[in-house]
């Protein structure tokens, strides 16, 4: 492929290190689409004869059918998907195949192919995340008024509803989708026609090829066009954030499935057993999702380090841009599918959740708030009074709502029988009617709004 420049072929080690076809064969659909758009433009501009353009297009269609049926052949001598396809095209239509590479370089070709692939990958991720959102909405609706302990520092804090807890993850996924949408918008520029780095002297129409490939516009600087991988980094950063959210949800399921918590029973389909302990139900799928987050983060870091010191324009280091993106995409897709399946099929033990919410003095804040509202007491003073009440309940081995009124009045005489109306977990969650609060009415309102958002 190097023509007359080199008298000898590459050393075997150079042949192996230089080839990217083992992984960039994944770009074959995008590569053929880009080539078809390019040759159509060349013909329209009179740069290539119409008859030659037709032969090239028909040859590309035949190659696509071959790849679809049999996969892409791996030939290290041909280095990459671009040369594998061009070589096969020459076998099919002869020297006319050489006209396809007029007014382009592998530099702008791969940048275009990779953008197309990342754009498609984002669309796949978005579809998966929508499925996860729908699963979260459905289960949140089922449990909008199911009381559970809310935690800070993994300590029982205030009662919340399970529906509210699940909707917290809906909001995380909503932000994830917005980051992927932003990444897609920035990737929606076409590098094709930037050639090696300086553009081309042929009278090409870059707007035509951009439109044919579904891009919003062509890129505006040829140097940046071939050296930019921001779109890949944007994808990896959005994927990293999404994987962190999935990992947090997976961690909750892992904790909740443990015997001390007993909040959930994970489905058999997402659990494994032990080779020697027949009683075990291990949350392996959730643990792997948790582990995948670290690998996805590593992929993001790998590409950041690759790109951090590269001068303009293209350098061979950039050949290593695709493996981390491909790996991260595959891991993220698996993680989304696994967590969606778990959310859809997990059994929530709401009786256990309620029992722990009732036993952890989780309504202490409600007592303090009542003292502020009904007694006109500054909150800091009310906080101290409530702390004494919690200590008394702990010493007596009873929840707050079972402390005798006499005991409460010994702590502070401004407390009366009305306090018992706010000390139950149901009263506590029902009172949290502020926007975004855990009250069942607020949770159901947000679910209805979210369902409209998703359509």
Residues annotated as catalytic (active site), given as ranges = 153, 274
Helices (DSSP H) in 45-161: which residue ranges?
A: 50-70, 81-93, 106-142
Instruction: Enter the tokens of residue 411.
Output: 């702590």
Decide if 314 contacts 222 (C-beta within 8 A).
no
Closest listed residue to residue 249, CA positions, set 132, 123, 373:
132
Q: Which residues contact 427 (CB under 8 A, 6 or more apart)?
A: 363, 366, 421
Distances 322 to 26, 68, 73, 117, 296 between C-alpha atoms, Å: 10, 21, 19, 10, 13
Find where tokens 């969650």 sit.
429
Alpha-carbon gap, residue 422 to 323, rounded angstroms: 57
| Residue 239: closest CA among 352, 137, 124, 151 | 124
Report the 10 Å Cβ neighbour count for 101.
Answer: 16
Secondary structure of residue 264 in the 3-state scheme: strand
Quote the CA–CA distance of 349 and 236 in Å, as a whole number. 36
Decide: helix, strand or coil at residue 263. coil
Determine how β-strand 189-190 pairs with β-strand 217-218: parallel
DSSP state of 347: E
Three-state DSSP state, 284: helix
Q: Is residue 399 a contact partner of residue 425, using CB atoms and an 8 Å limit?
A: no
For 278, phi then psi, to 5°, come to: -65, -15
| 199 alpha-carbon distance from chain centroid | 35
User: SS in 3 state form for 128-190?
Assistant: HHHHHHHHHHHHHHHCCCCEEEEEECCEEEEEEEHHHHHHHHHHHHHHHHHHHHHHHHHCCEE
Alpha-carbon span 447 to 455, nearest angstrom = 12
Cα(112)–Cα(190) distance, integer angstroms: 6
């Amino acid at each position: 492929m190097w023509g007359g420049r080199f008298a000898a072929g590459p050393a075997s080690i150079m042949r192996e290190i230089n080839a990217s076809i083992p992984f960039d064969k994944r770009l074959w659909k995008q590569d053929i689409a880009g080539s078809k758009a390019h040759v159509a433009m060349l013909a329209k501009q009179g740069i290539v004869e119409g008859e030659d353009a037709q032969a090239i297009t028909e040859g590309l269609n035949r190659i696509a059918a071959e790849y679809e049926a049999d996969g892409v052949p791996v030939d290290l001598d041909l280095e990459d998907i671009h040369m594998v396809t061009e070589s096969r095209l020459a076998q099919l239509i002869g020297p006319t195949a050489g006209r396809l590479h007029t007014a382009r370089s592998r530099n702008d070709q791969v940048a275009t192919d990779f953008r197309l692939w990342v754009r498609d990958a984002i669309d796949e991720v978005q579809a998966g995340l929508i499925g996860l959102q729908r699963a979260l909405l459905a289960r949140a609706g089922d449990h909008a008024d199911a009381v559970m302990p809310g935690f800070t520092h993994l300590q029982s804090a205030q009662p919340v509803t399970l529906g509210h807890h699940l909707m917290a993850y809906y909001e995380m996924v909503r932000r994830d989708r917005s980051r992927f949408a932003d990444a897609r918008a920035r990737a929606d520029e076409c590098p094709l026609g930037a050639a090696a780095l300086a553009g081309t002297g042929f009278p090409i129409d870059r707007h035509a090829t951009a439109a044919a490939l579904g891009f919003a516009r062509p890129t505006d600087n040829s140097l940046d066009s071939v050296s930019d991988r921001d779109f890949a980094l944007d994808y990896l950063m959005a994927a990293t954030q999404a994987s962190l959210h999935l990992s947090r949800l997976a961690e909750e399921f892992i904790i909740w499935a443990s015997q001390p918590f007993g909040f959930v029973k994970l489905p058999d389909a997402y659990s494994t057993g032990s080779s020697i302990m027949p009683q075990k139900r291990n949350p392996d799928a959730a643990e792997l999702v948790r582990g995948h987050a670290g690998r996805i983060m590593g992929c993001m870091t790998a590409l950041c380090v690759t790109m951090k010191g590269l001068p303009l324009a293209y350098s061979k280091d950039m050949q290593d841009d695709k493996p981390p993106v491909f790996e991260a995409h595959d891991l993220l897709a698996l993680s989304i599918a696994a967590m969606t399946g778990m959310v859809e099929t997990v059994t929530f033990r709401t009786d256990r959740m309620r029992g722990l919410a009732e036993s952890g003095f989780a309504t202490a804040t409600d007592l303090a708030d009542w003292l502020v509202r009904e007694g006109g007491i500054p909150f800091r003073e009310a906080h101290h009074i409530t702390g004494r009440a919690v200590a008394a309940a702990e010493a007596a081995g009873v929840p707050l709502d079972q402390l005798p009124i006499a005991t409460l009045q010994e702590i502070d005489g401004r407390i009366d029988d009305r306090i018992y109306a706010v000390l139950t977990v149901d009263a506590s969650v029902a009172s949290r009617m502020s926007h975004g609060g855990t009250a069942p009415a607020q949770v159901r309102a947000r679910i209805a709004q979210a369902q409209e958002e998703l359509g």
